[in-house]
Structure 1
Amino acid sequence: MQQNSEANARGIILMVLSMGAFAMADTLIKLVSGEVAPAQIMFLMMAGGSVMFCLMAKAQGARLIDRRAIAPVFLVRYLAEVVAMVGMVMALAHVPLSAVGAIIQATPLLVALGAVLFLGEKVSWRRWSTIVLGFAGVLLIVQPGAEGFDALALWAVFSMVGLSVRDLTTRMTPPDMASASLAAYSAVAALPFAMAWILLDGDNFLPPEADWVMLISIILLGSLGYLLLTASIRATSISVVSPFRYARLVFMLILGVLVFDERPGLPVLAGASLIVFSGLYMMWRERVLKQSG
């Protein structure tokens, strides 16, 4: 019993640290977006991520060459990763950090919807209600049709869709494939798109006047966040650590206020509350059903 408690505590701490690393990386991306083009940011993140994840895979003794990596489900996952990255970088460049953080937290709800539509999972009316309530929170933040509607906020929704498809297809990948190898394949697959995006924009691959300390920090923080996330999931049950993914939203709200002097309005706070409540309730119901089953 004590071992389980210690494992749970370790997993929770690792998850919170992971979300903190991701939130800091998001903040730095927003800070450098005024000097570095979104395409350049994506290229540097994918290039740096490719190196970092390949090193992680080798350190874990995982395979880096696997024919299964070109199966259709992987190709869909790679495309979803590109969509998620483009949406995230563009959103961080143009949308308040707090709003981006709130919108992407609806990803688990969209994954649940996708599991119903494409994987044939059956859900109760309670789960349908939480999904609808969560998306109502997204609508509160984006406010389509309102006088102050900012179409750029749709980039965050775009990213949320990409993240959801990526997470959904991850369920269909071979369980024996190492997480670091899977991340390395995704980063390498996204590199050609990032390079094409830079060429179409007419930019340099390496921004001449960029703050390289910040850019390298983005790569390291993103890789560290991934490493801590993986360690957290392996430390204990996913049902224990998953609710603490919402720590990323808390960190982004705080960093938005401290770094960018953001003042989230009532719609953003209300929408974020609905999203978090819906996600936590859905996780709690799943845990109850597993215990009763």
Structure 2
Amino acid sequence: MVDNTRGIVAMLASVVVFIFNDALIKLAAENMPSVQAIGMRGLFATLWCALALLATGTWRKISYAMHPQVMLRSGLEAAAAIIYLIALFQIPFAIATAVNLSMPLILTVLAVLVLKEDVRWRRWTAVGLGFAGVLLVIQPRPGDINGWTWVALTGTCLSACRDVVARHLPPAVPTLVVSFSTAITVAIVGCIWALIEGWQPIDARAWGYLVSSSLLLAMGYQFLVIALRSGGEISVMAPFRYSSILWALAIGYAVWGEVPNTLALAGIAVIVGSGLYILHRERVRR
């Protein structure tokens, strides 16, 4: 029987650091173009990963960054980020968030079709209920859905494919090398796009947000790759991405004074309940 505990813990850790990273990059982007913020964040994340490679001696295996599967994952990461960002500029944040949080459903489908995991009706039900809880929290309006929604879905599908590719990375490839390759690819794409769009000056506060955000991004890359390479089932780990909406609500209240309504609170209960049920089923199976 597969033990998914390590993968779940790493997935939850990645969710925490990624959501705080998103909050910081949102603050930074209030004073500069979003794509410029993403490119600069990628540059600093590359720096943190490079320092970690030097400190651990893993730099000796940096040639693995040119491994076809590592390059494929990095390319998918950059493409997913850019495509999703383009859509985000065109549709309401709630709609984009709903589409992005459909990833656990997409990953569960890919786990069945590509990884041949055995996903039974209880797990499908828990995944579906978790997504229903997300919709209760963000409450998207049907009238806001348009062609750009499908563009956002394309970015989300690419992110799911990225995670499946990470599952098949050779064991010899260090996780730090994967994180470094991902960070530098996103940095290059983001900065080139920002230069084409028009570079703008960055103030001291924005620099602080970018540096802090990049450190969390580098940590998030590590935790996510650890989760996907843990040997656990993706169809079990994926639904724990829903917990990001809980952190988003907490940060939204603390930073921007956003208070969830009754439907949102009900959605939180559904999300927590689905996650606890998956943990319970894992305990029963073992």
Pick closer, same or farther for the CA change 1:17–1:31 going to 2, 3 Å: same
Q: CA deviation at 1:172?
A: 0.7
- Report the equivalent of 2:256: 260
- Report the equivalent of 1:219: 214
Asked if 1:288 is matched to 2:284, the reply is yes
- Report the equivalent of 2:180: 184
Q: Whole-Å Cα distance in 2 between the matches of residues 159 and 280 of structure 1? A: 29
- Report the equivalent of 1:45: 41
Determine helix, strand or coil for the equivalent of 2:250: helix
Q: Whole-Å Cα distance in 2 between the matches of residues 26 and 125 of structure 1? A: 33
- The number of equivalent residue pairs is 274
Asked if 1:166 is matched to 2:169, the reply is no
Q: Whole-Å Cα distance in 1 between the matches of residues 28 and 11 of structure 2? A: 26
Asked if 1:79 is matched to 2:85, the reply is no
Determine helix, strand or coil for the equivalent of 1:34: helix
TM-score of the two chains, using structure 1 as the length reference: 0.71
Q: Percent identity?
A: 30
Pick closer, same or farther for the CA change 1:179–1:33 going to 2, 3 Å: same
Q: CA deviation at 1:183?
A: 0.6
Pick closer, same or farther for the CA change 1:272–1:175 going to 2, 3 Å: farther
Determine helix, strand or coil for the equivalent of 2:169: coil
Asked if 1:207 is matched to 2:198, the reply is no
Q: CA deviation at 1:196?
A: 3.2
Pick closer, same or farther for the CA change 1:244–1:171 going to 2, 3 Å: closer
Q: CA deviation at 1:182?
A: 0.4
For structure 1, the 5+ residue unaligned runs are: 1-7
RMSD of the alignment, in Å? 4.3
Pick closer, same or farther for the CA change 1:149–1:142 going to 2, 3 Å: farther
Contact 1:81–1:186 (Cα < 8 Å) also in 2: yes
Q: Whole-Å Cα distance in 1 between the matches of residues 19 and 150 of structure 2? A: 20
Q: Whole-Å Cα distance in 1 between the matches of residues 209 and 118 of structure 2? A: 45
More displaced, 150-159 or 35-44?
150-159
Which residue identity does 1:44 align to in structure 2?
M
Contact 1:42–1:89 (Cα < 8 Å) also in 2: no
Match for 1:118 among 114, 120, 133?
114
Q: Whole-Å Cα distance in 2 between the matches of residues 22 and 253 of structure 1? A: 14
For structure 2, the 5+ residue unaligned runs are: none
Pick closer, same or farther for the CA change 1:192–1:24 going to 2, 3 Å: closer
- Report the equivalent of 1:195: 191
Match for 1:134 among 130, 134, 144?
130
Q: CA deviation at 1:59?
A: 2.1
Q: Whole-Å Cα distance in 2 between the matches of residues 177 and 108 of structure 1? A: 26
Pick closer, same or farther for the CA change 1:137–1:232 going to 2, 3 Å: same
TM-score of the two chains, using structure 2 as the length reference: 0.72
- Report the equivalent of 1:66: 63
Q: Whole-Å Cα distance in 2 between the matches of residues 164 and 149 of structure 1? A: 21
Pick closer, same or farther for the CA change 1:272–1:158 going to 2, 3 Å: farther
Which residue identity does 1:37 align to in structure 2?
P
Contact 2:65–2:177 (Cα < 8 Å) also in 1: no
Contact 1:29–1:89 (Cα < 8 Å) also in 2: no
Which residue identity does 1:207 align to in structure 2?
P
Q: CA deviation at 1:133?
A: 2.7
Q: CA deviation at 1:258?
A: 1.8
For residues 85-110 of structure 1, the C-alpha deviation after alignment (integer angstroms, 9 at most, x for no partner) is 3437975998669x94x875554443
Contact 2:76–2:158 (Cα < 8 Å) also in 1: yes
For residues 186-235 of structure 1, the C-alpha deviation after alignment (integer angstroms, 9 at most, x for no partner) is 1222233213321332x11x6344621222121123334556x47996xx
Pick closer, same or farther for the CA change 1:121–1:53 going to 2, 3 Å: same
More displaced, 87-96 or 251-260?
87-96
More displaced, 249-258 or 167-176?
249-258
Determine helix, strand or coil for the equivalent of 1:257: helix
Q: CA deviation at 1:257?
A: 1.0
Asked if 1:31 is matched to 2:27, the reply is yes
